[in-house]
Structure formats: structure tokens, C-alpha cells
Amino acid sequence: MTTVTRPLMDERPELRAAVEAAQGKKAAGITLLDLSGLGAFTGAFLICTGFSSPQVQAISDGIEEALGRAGSRLLHREGYSSAEWVLLDYGSFVIHVFLERARLYYDIERLWRRAPRLDVPDQPEWRDDPASRDGAASA
């Protein structure tokens, strides 16, 4: 397994927007796989976990809304009504929002283990910044 560096998200603002939307809906296990150069049908996978069907739907709704505001066009959506595994296809990247048991079962990360990987914190980094807790960021 190769580790992806953060610049991938910096180079792809739509991926950053999707990650932030997932974080905002309390997604867990947020992982980015860089599929470029592997002969894949897309450039990246963003994978995350919700712990109930309503949460999986909320995460996917939040991502769709954020990416819509950013100008990204959703090409295809699968699995929303069952909400065990929601797939959002944006062409150059695909987002997978799983219930925990489905993520363990399908194990996408193992299938694409040759892809460089970035494990993203479940909470945005600014939440861990002491200055933001002290109100310094708003001064």
C-alpha cells in the first residue's frame, strides 16, 4: 500500500469538498484512493462509512449538495433507497458511502490495494486547532 499525499486533495477541490461534506455528516473511516495510472475507469475513489441507513443517506445527500454548489455534475447514483452502499459517480471520481457491515464485506480498499491511499481524519482539522476553540479564528 502506498500512501497518498495531501496534495491530491489540494489539486482536486471537488474531492476536498466531498471530504468536508462527509465530515460534516459525521462519516467515519474516510479514505481516498488515487486510481490514476492503474487503468481504472475513474481517477479516484472516496470511501466512507455511516452507522445507520439514515446516516448513509444524509452523508450522500450532503456530498451531493456540496458538489452541486461547487459545479460538479452527478452522472449516476446507485443504492440510495436501500442505503447499505450508496455509489455517487462523478466521472473522474466515484464516492462510496457504506454501512459498516457492507464496507467490511465488499472491502474495496483490499480490491484496490495497489492504489495510493489517504486516510482522512473523521473531523476537519480546524476542529483540532486550539486557536479555533479559543475564538482566535474569528478575531
- What does the pLDDT look like over 76-110, one tens digit per residue? 999 999 999 999 999 999 999 999 999 999 999 99
Residue 2 lies in a domain: no
**Residue-number span of the structural domain to which 111 is assigned:** 7-133
Instruction: Determine the pLDDT at residue 137.
Output: 41
| Domain presence at residue 1 | no
Residue 84 lies in a domain: yes
CATH label of the domain that carries residue 52: 3.30.460.10
Residues 6+ apart with CB under 8 A from 65: 21
Q: What is the mean pLDDT of residues 24-49?
A: 93
Q: Is residue 57 in some structural domain?
A: yes
Q: How far is CA 36 from the centre of its chain?
A: 17
136 pLDDT more than 50: no
pLDDT digit string, tens, across residues 108-134: 999 999 999 999 988 876 544 444 444
Residue 139 belongs to a domain:
no
Question: For residues 116, 104, 49 and 19, what is the CA-based torsion angle, rounded to 10 degrees?
Answer: 10
Number of domains in the chain: 1
Residue 82 lies in a domain: yes
